Amino acid sequence: MEQPRTRLGNDDVWLELARIGADSRRITAGSTLPVRADAARSPC
C-alpha cells in the first residue's frame, strides 16, 4: 500500500515529504535546473 506523501513545487524544483513508517518520514528535494555557485561571494 502506498504511504501518504506531499509534494510541493513544479516539474523543475520540488520538495516532497513522505511517510515511510509509523514514526518515520522522508524529505526529498530535487531540481532539474542547473546549479551554479558564485565564487565571488564566497567568504573564504
How confident is the model at residue 17, as a pLDDT? 93
Residue 30's region, left for phi above 0, alpha for psi from -120 to 50, else beta, is: beta
Q: Report which DSSP code applies to 22.
A: T
Confidence of residue 5 (pLDDT cuts 50, 70, 90): confident
Residue ranges of E strands in the chain = 5-9, 13-21, 24-31
Length reported for the chain: 44
18-42 tens-digit pLDDT: 998 889 999 999 988 887 777 666 5
Task: Give dist(CA 38, CA 44) in Å, integer.
Answer: 12
